[in-house]
Structure 1
């Protein structure tokens, strides 16, 4: 779980984490809950079993959404762009989002500029993209397609 830094900074915030956790649901849930407690944010953090393709939340329910290497793994959505759209659906207008995934994989998302245009066409106010390779010193051998060379961050405000 990577929400603790924000949670510690924003003491009155509440964090909801979701995952499908497969057959290891109870074990994985316990690990997440223990991690949150260890970080001192257990009381403000809850976890739910759900698919990122069909979030059990109202439109605009959250001030922000964060996802790290989730969308390409969602098996119950053939078009991964729909998973991005679903994550944005639950962010309130003016809310922030940051998603890291294999956004440079044309096989998964198509051309990056087309993906960004599609997100803007959904009515998202602010859309930015940064290749993770521009932020982190990734060895050249790992920057190849199918490896770390396809990772990017889409972020902004709704």
Structure 2
């Protein structure tokens, strides 16, 4: 889908945040467990497969429904979240914006569309565990008609190559907790703010409410007080689940001069 709710241009293809190869593996494990339970007619020992069937089946259900909800047929919540971020960032015409962890280029494209005079750079490591690529980002930008103002580079969010204060705005969506190079996931926020000019705006969405990734919430509040995504947007099941977007929080503000 495009930013106005119409079908996405031919050639534009945005994947969801769910790794489909993991979903397929879990679905396979569910089928195997179910087959084991059927064999209980041969021997009651096969009833032990009920435990993995319950575990794998539940996780598969949550992930499958998440893919559905994030996609166009289930409410298009991934697009809606990107639109929320793009519309929340303050960026004057002619400004420069950075998207940290651009994935398939969706958010970077939407920032460019929301701010017609701006140029946008998207960076991502595009690791082997993800189904994104720089070529995919470039194709999507061309299909959406913003290739002249949007560019993509392979970089890690843990060590951006840009000089201090290079950008007028910085955005990021569900990226910082994925940066494995950082022992402290908040370091990704610090690095993103480093390349933001004083007075520049930032909008970050991440699992800031999850103590598994951010055990010290006081550190986050030294920047701004984050808002739960569920308070900003009505999230249906299973997006409110703690393992999906239940801990997602929106961090917005302006870098002090």
TM-score calculated relative to the size of structure 2: 0.54
8 Å Cα contact 1:62-1:92 kept in structure 2: yes
Q: Please say which structure displays the higher CA radius of gyration.
A: 2
- Give the corresponding residue for 1:124: none
8 Å Cα contact 2:164-2:194 kept in structure 1: yes
Question: Which aligned pairs between 1:69-88 and structure 2 lie closer than 5 A?
Answer: 69-88=174-193
8 Å Cα contact 2:186-2:220 kept in structure 1: no
Match of residue 49, structure 1, among 142, 149, 154: 154
1:103-141 CA distance string (max 9 Å, x none):
0001211243x033333xxxxxxx242100112222366
| C-alpha RMSD over aligned residues | 2.1
Match of residue 220, structure 2, among 113, 116, 125: 116
Per-residue deviation, 1:143: 2.9
Larger mean Cα displacement after TM superposition, 41-50 or 128-137: 128-137
Secondary structure in 1 aligned to 2:164? coil
8 Å Cα contact 2:108-2:150 kept in structure 1: no
- Give the corresponding residue for 1:151: 248
Counting matched residue pairs gives 149
Q: Which has the higher contact order (CA 8 A, sep 6+)?
A: 1
- Name the one with the larger strand percent: 1
Match of residue 62, structure 1, among 149, 156, 167: 167
Per-residue deviation, 1:76: 1.0
Q: Which runs of 5+ in 1 are unaligned?
A: 120-126
Per-residue deviation, 1:31: 0.6
Larger mean Cα displacement after TM superposition, 83-92 or 6-15: 6-15
8 Å Cα contact 1:3-1:15 kept in structure 2: yes
- Give the corresponding residue for 2:205: 100
8 Å Cα contact 2:229-2:248 kept in structure 1: yes
Cα distance change of structure 1 residues 94 and 13 upon mapping to structure 2, 3 Å threshold:
same
Match of residue 138, structure 1, among 224, 227, 235: 235
1:8 and 1:140 map into 2 onto residues whose CA distance is: 30
1:14-56 CA distance string (max 9 Å, x none):
111000112499x711110011111111011111111000001
1:111 and 1:131 map into 2 onto residues whose CA distance is: 16
2:254 and 2:117 map into 1 onto residues whose CA distance is: 21
Cα distance change of structure 1 residues 6 and 144 upon mapping to structure 2, 3 Å threshold:
closer
